[in-house]
Amino acid sequence: MFLKTCLCDLLNIEYPLIQGAMAWIAGGRLAAAVSSAGALGVIGAGNADVAWLKREIDVVRQITDNTFAVNLMLTSPEIESIVNLVIEEKVPVVTTGGGNPGRYMKSLKEAGIKVIPVVASVALAKRLSRLGADALIAEGMESGGHVGEMTTMCLVPMVVDAVDIPVIAAGGVADGRGLIASLALGARGVQVGTRFICAKECDVHPDYQQKILKARDRDTVVCGVTTGHPVRAIHNKFVRQYLKAEKTGASKEELEELGRGRYPAAALEGRIDEGTILAGQISGLVKDIQPAAEIVADIISDACRVLRELGDIEWRE
């Protein structure tokens, strides 16, 4: 099996596939399994402290010598010390989310780290490309967790046209069809989050995985639009309560209080009624718990099948 783009050369990986960074979910064990399989494993630093991240980096390095990444959540209260740690540790690749990483760009680049910011708009894509980003992840609102307003289908080709660096499509991708569709839009790789939550090596609570496996096409919803920070999650008792509070005019502060601690409640404690189960719209396509290596191999072999079947289309120029 062989499927390669310029992203593979840039990151020294076998397949143009990146595991989504998921705070409280994607630790070293998952990242190592994904990187060992030839894709790019990512540790989601989220709001974690330096000691946690150092441990997870060590976990990856004990398991594999392959390239891996750390995702910096730019809203984290620990962000300065986390940036210093990834520089000290010479982490090969950093992805960023939740804001503009411009102020960290120079020091990360000077440390020889490849920087791949997540963007949800063309404007930020242009700005970060000028600041020296090595690639960009264009994330559509089909994604789980914090989302922008653009769909993957519209955002990706617009970002591709706006910059000269490789673009990675995210949001709504879980198989080879999504990978090839993204390449057709001009992306040179994809980021897959939700399907990797259902990897055997993922340390998330098993009941969280079951919610994804059971989800159907319309079972995720976006809530928190009134706060300015919309989030996609699987519909459950808490989401119903939250949406009702939003509808009846709860203030930003009340909503923030209502939402406090709900991500780790679901991801770590498996409180699937009271927690927020962040997951993408593509959950309806995820049907099995599989080893990460099998997920990687499945996506790539499915992509090869799609390419072969495209050969049936008759066309000429």
CB 97 within 8 A of CB 146: yes
Shortest distance, CB of residue 196 to ligand TUI, whole angstroms?
Answer: 14
- By Cβ distance, which residue is nearest to ligand TUI? 145
Binder among 5, 47, 210, 226 for ligand TUI (CB under 6 A): 47
CB of 180 or CB of 286, closer to ligand TUI: 286
Cα distances from 243 to residues 37, 216, 223, in angstroms, run 40, 20, 6
Residue 139 in contact with ligand TUI, rule: CB under 6 A: yes
Q: What are the beta bridge partners of residue 132?
A: none
Give residue for tokens 């209260």: 77
Cα distances from 270 to residues 163, 205, 210, in angstroms, run 41, 5, 10
Size of the site for ligand TUI (CB under 6 A): 20
Which one of 80-88, 97-105, 243-251, 301-309 is the stretch in contact with ligand TUI (CB under 6 A)? 97-105
Touching ligand TUI, residues 231-290 (CB under 6 A): 263, 278
CB of 3 or CB of 70, closer to ligand TUI: 70
Shortest distance, CB of residue 96 to ligand TUI, whole angstroms?
Answer: 8
Shortest distance, CB of residue 279 to ligand TUI, whole angstroms?
Answer: 10
Q: Helices in the chain by DSSP H: which ranges? A: 6-11, 28-36, 50-63, 79-88, 102-110, 122-130, 152-162, 176-184, 194-197, 206-214, 237-247, 252-259, 262-267, 292-310
CB of 92 or CB of 171, closer to ligand TUI: 171
Shortest distance, CB of residue 221 to ligand TUI, whole angstroms?
Answer: 15
CB of 47 or CB of 226, closer to ligand TUI: 47
Residue 172 in contact with ligand TUI, rule: CB under 6 A: no
Shortest distance, CB of residue 272 to ligand TUI, whole angstroms?
Answer: 17
Residue 69 in contact with ligand TUI, rule: CB under 6 A: no
d(CA 148, CA 36): 31
Binder among 118, 174, 223, 296 for ligand TUI (CB under 6 A): 118
R_g of the chain, CA atoms, integer Å? 19
And the tokens for 292? 């990460």
Binder among 27, 38, 92, 148 for ligand TUI (CB under 6 A): 148
d(CA 38, CA 316): 35
Three-state secondary structure call for residue 131: coil
Q: What are the beta bridge partners of residue 190?
A: 17, 169
CB 116 within 8 A of CB 94: yes
Binder among 16, 28, 46, 176 for ligand TUI (CB under 6 A): 46
d(CA 300, CA 180): 10
Q: Which amino acid is at 183?
A: L
Shortest distance, CB of residue 213 to ligand TUI, whole angstroms?
Answer: 20
User: Footprint of ligand TUI on this chain (CB under 6 A)?
Assistant: 23, 46-47, 73, 75-76, 97-100, 118-120, 124, 139, 145-146, 148, 263, 278
